[in-house]
Amino acid sequence: GQLGLPPLPTEGEHIELVYVNLCTRGDRRAHMESQLQSHSSLHGRRMEAQKGAAAPDWAAVDEWDAAIGRAVAAEWSTRLNARFDHLSQRDARVPLQPSERGAAMCHALLWARAASRPIDAPPLLICEDDVELR
């Protein structure tokens, strides 16, 4: 099934936050958990980042690599970046590494989850584990 989040507290306004974190980065996970404890309006949850290997339980797909192939391209174009960053190559095609495709798939799954939520659901904030919450 989908990424399961604990129920939100019923009092006050809350924002659901899901951060993507590799299992090998316990330091970043600890930093995120520490930040979340000091922000009572954020209801946080970790999603384990994938490197394109085995399908995680939350993916709800039979074949992880096939799911990545359908949802995430094998390469990306620098055309849009070049419009805003003069150091980017114009119209270059850059192949994505399996780890990059796995990270993109995590975000694609979270965006699909966000899009399927009821209109009156609390906001959902999706971020990486190196975000600084202020």
Q: What is the DSSP string of 62-89?
A: S-HHHHHHHHS-SEEESHHHHHH-TTSP
d(CA 37, CA 31): 10
The C-alpha R_g of the chain, in whole angstroms, comes to 17
Predicted pLDDT of residue 11:
56
pLDDT for position 134: 85
What is the number of H-type helices and E-type strands within the chain? Answer: 4, 5
Helices (H), 3-132: 26-37, 64-71, 79-84, 98-115
- Burial class of 49 by CB neighbour count within 10 A (0 to 12, 13 to 18, 19+): buried
Predicted pLDDT at 10:
54
Q: What is the mean pLDDT of residues 15-22?
A: 90
What is this structure's pTM?
0.68
Tens of pLDDT, residues 69-121: 667 777 888 888 888 988 888 878 888 887 787 788 888 888 888 888 888 88
pLDDT tens figures, 29-56: 999 999 999 988 888 989 888 765 444 4
> Is pLDDT above 90 for 132?
yes
